[in-house]
């Protein structure tokens, strides 16, 4: 894979959306300002408006179209499209005149290894089940099985052995397969039989106690019947998408049984007529489920699980503007956005225009006024690192790698400003007739002065609507924990995540550049730039003074 090709030549071939790339890139031509303009700006009290107004809608639009072109193949981490996107960003920094870090590189390269299924089949009554819809087998939770044919299964009720309720039967279960119902028995008042309250016991909340108990009885495989596969998929999503670490298990301990989750209706079809007895207990008295525990049922089940290891390499792309103050330049503001997306599936390319070609373009466009200011001797006083991150869609990988392997000392990093989805207007603000808005998330979670500076620059310069809905710690969406800024937060660094809200095209092939609102995106980008400029030039270092989270 050629990583050093001239991407500007490559992108000229990317006419998936029919635009002329070379004609749109105004950022290739340095802006020249008269001494009169600079003097006038100084008299008005600083350079906020001068350099903020250098952020151009035309440039943001050109970047988004280029990064979300079909030729980028959805920019999936480690795949050719992501490499093209990384080259595009790096070539932009080179053409702009940003120096490489350490005179050698614009990249922070990382390698990831994932544990995946090479083969993953569960067949019930001759029908192959749909992975994640009808069953879920996490590689690290299972041993490998090659065409493992099962003709007998042992129903074990809820799989609970407790003094308040027990499904434990007599018998020899060595090497057998168990079927259990998820959760725990509930009485006619809606209370747990184990806790006599609406709260579930540890048996009903997780799977570990059941798994340990059934493994001790000798079972080698457990099938857990789930009333809904959605929650179990969400609970295991990080485990399935995050790469391996040195301590990651690749299979269960020898003493533990394998674990497959199965949709309850599919499980009923597996056990045939016996399912009617189970359903009757559910209708009458769940506490009597133990009366069915230990019964062997003839089944037609085949499991075929073979593991493989997948290794990918990709890069964070770095643009560094060293501060002009001889003392403050050692302090750093990190401005980030992820440039990866979710690739393509068959003929569908997931272009990711809003998610997150928009944030990537905003960070790239900020490089121009920052470099122009530095060359004019106007700032920034502190240094600014523009970092375009890979691997966000696979579990915040690029930001996690950076904070564990920082290019600059984390103790000198005073704030992270992260942008993820900035180019659309959500339904709420369409209904309100408000286009120029943004959701800041986390602004007051660690530093009250960060929040105050954000409000101040908006009042004085950007004048957009700051919607703090998702900044509420009680917000059920929990966006504060779901983008790259949170890895900086984990290291004690105050951060703001800027976001334009959800829309109907999220993670679909319909997230395309023609649906963007570039005027709204420009207003939000200028607001974010004003905050970065304020943080970089403030006489006082931003301090953490909130420690609740």
**What pLDDT digit, counting tens, does each position of 209-240 carry?**
999 999 999 999 999 999 999 899 888 877 87
Helix%, strand%, coil% for the chain, nearest 5: 40, 25, 40
Show the tokens assigned to 199.
């709260």
Residue 67, CA distances (Å) to 117, 143, 172, 223, 393 in order: 31, 41, 61, 44, 16
pLDDT given at position 246: 63
Whether the pTM exceeds 0.95: the reply is no
Which residue segments constitute the domains of the chain, with CATH numbers given? 39-98+322-537 (3.40.630.10), 115-308 (3.50.30.30)
508 contacts 419 by C-beta, under 8 angstroms: no
pLDDT, tens digit, 9 for 90 and up, residues 422-476 = 999 999 999 999 999 999 999 999 999 999 999 999 999 999 999 999 999 999 9
pLDDT, tens digit, 9 for 90 and up, residues 130-151 = 999 999 999 999 999 999 999 9
Cβ neighbors of 211 (< 8 A, separation 6 or more) are 222, 256, 257, 259
530 contacts 410 by C-beta, under 8 angstroms: no
DSSP class of residue 286?
G
Question: Mean pLDDT across the stretch 301-316?
Answer: 93
pLDDT given at position 16: 39
pLDDT, tens digit, 9 for 90 and up, residues 165-209 = 999 999 999 999 999 999 999 999 999 999 999 999 999 999 999
Question: Mean pLDDT across the stretch 356-363?
Answer: 98
Surface-to-core class of residue 175, CB atoms within 10 Å of its CB (0-12 exposed, 13-18 middle, 19+ buried): exposed
Residue 28 has pLDDT above 90, yes or no: no
End-to-end CA separation in angstroms for the chain: 43
CA distance 443 to 437: 15
Q: Cα 223 vs. chain centroid, distance in angstroms?
A: 29
pLDDT, tens digit, 9 for 90 and up, residues 406-420 = 999 999 999 999 999
Residue 6 has pLDDT above 90, yes or no: no
pLDDT given at position 457: 97
pLDDT, tens digit, 9 for 90 and up, residues 100-115 = 998 789 999 999 888 8
Q: Cα 26 vs. chain centroid, distance in angstroms?
A: 32
Residue 155, CA distances (Å) to 192, 229, 238 in order: 21, 20, 30
pLDDT given at position 312: 84
Show the tokens assigned to 548.
């609740």
336 contacts 61 by C-beta, under 8 angstroms: no
Reported confidence tier of residue 18, pLDDT bands at 50, 70, 90: very low
Least confident of 133-137, 211-215, 251-255, 531-535: 251-255
CA distance 506 to 424: 11
Q: What are phi and psi of 426, to 5 degrees?
A: -80, 170
Nearest to 158 by CA among 134, 133, 131, 194: 194
pLDDT given at position 431: 97
Residue 242 has pLDDT above 60, yes or no: yes
CA distance 42 to 34: 13
Reported confidence tier of residue 491, pLDDT bands at 50, 70, 90: very high
Residue 21 has pLDDT above 80, yes or no: no
């Amino acid at each position: 894979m050629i990583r050093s090709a001239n991407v500007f030549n490559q992108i000229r071939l990317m006419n998936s959306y029919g635009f002329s790339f070379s004609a749109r890139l105004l950022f290739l031509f340095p802006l020249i300002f008269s001494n009169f303009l600079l003097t006038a700006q100084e008299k008005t009290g600083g350079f906020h408006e001068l350099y903020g107004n250098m952020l151009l809608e035309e440039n943001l639009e050109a970047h988004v179209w280029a990064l979300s072109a079909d030729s980028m193949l959805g920019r999936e981490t480690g795949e050719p499209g992501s490499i093209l996107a990384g080259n595009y960003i790096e070539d932009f920094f080179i053409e702009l005149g940003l120096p490489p870090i350490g005179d050698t590189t614009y990249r922070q390269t990382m390698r990831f290894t994932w544990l995946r299924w090479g083969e993953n089949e569960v067949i019930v009554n001759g029908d192959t089940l749909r992975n994640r819809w009808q069953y879920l087998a996490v590689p690290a939770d299972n041993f490998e099985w090659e065409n493992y044919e099962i003709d007998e299964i042992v129903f074990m009720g809820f799989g609970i052995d407790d003094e308040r309720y027990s499904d434990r039967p007599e018998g020899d279960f060595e090497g057998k397969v168990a079927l259990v119902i998820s959760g725990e028995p509930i009485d006619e008042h809606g209370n747990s039989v184990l806790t006599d309250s609406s709260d579930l016991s540890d048996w009903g909340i997780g799977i570990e106690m059941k798994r340990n108990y059934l493994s001790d009885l000798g079972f080698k495989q457990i099938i857990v019947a789930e009333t809904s596969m959605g929650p179990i998929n969400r609970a295991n999503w990080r485990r399935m998408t995050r790469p391996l670490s040195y301590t990651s298990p690749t299979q269960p301990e020898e003493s533990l049984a394998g674990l497959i989750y199965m949709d309850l209706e599919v499980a009923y079809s597996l056990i045939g007529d016996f399912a009617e007895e189970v359903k009757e207990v559910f209708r009458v008295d769940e506490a009597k489920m133990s009366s069915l525990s230990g019964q062997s049922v003839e089944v037609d089940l085949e499991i075929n699980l073979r593991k493989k290891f997948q290794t990918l390499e990709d890069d964070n792309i770095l643009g560094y503007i060293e501060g002009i103050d001889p003392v403050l330049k050692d302090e750093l503001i990190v401005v980030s956005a992820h440039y990866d997306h979710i690739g393509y599936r068959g003929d569908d390319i997931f272009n990711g225009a809003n998610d997150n070609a928009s944030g990537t373009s905003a960070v790239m466009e900020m490089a121009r006024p920052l470099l122009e200011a530095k060359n004019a001797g106007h700032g920034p006083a502190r240094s600014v690192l523009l970092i375009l991150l890979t691997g966000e869609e696979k579990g915040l990988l690029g930001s996690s790698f950076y904070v564990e392997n920082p290019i600059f000392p984390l103790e000198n990093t005073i704030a992270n400003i992260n942008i993820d989805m900035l180019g659309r207007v959500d339904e709420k603000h369409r209904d309100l007739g408000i286009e120029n808005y943004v959701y800041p998330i986390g602004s007051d979670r660690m530093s009250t002065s960060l929040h105050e500076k954000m409000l101040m620059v908006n009042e004085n310069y950007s004048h957009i609507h700051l919607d703090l809905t998702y900044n509420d710690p009680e917000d059920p969406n929990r966006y504060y924990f779901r983008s790259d800024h949170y890895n900086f937060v984990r290291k004690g660094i105050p951060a703001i995540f800027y976001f334009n809200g959800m829309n109907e095209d999220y993670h679909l092939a319909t997230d395309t550049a023609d649906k963007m609102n570039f005027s709204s995106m420009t207003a939000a980008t200028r607001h974010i730039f004003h905050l970065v400029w304020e943080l970089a030039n403030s006489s006082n270092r931003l301090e953490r003074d909130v420690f609740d989270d």
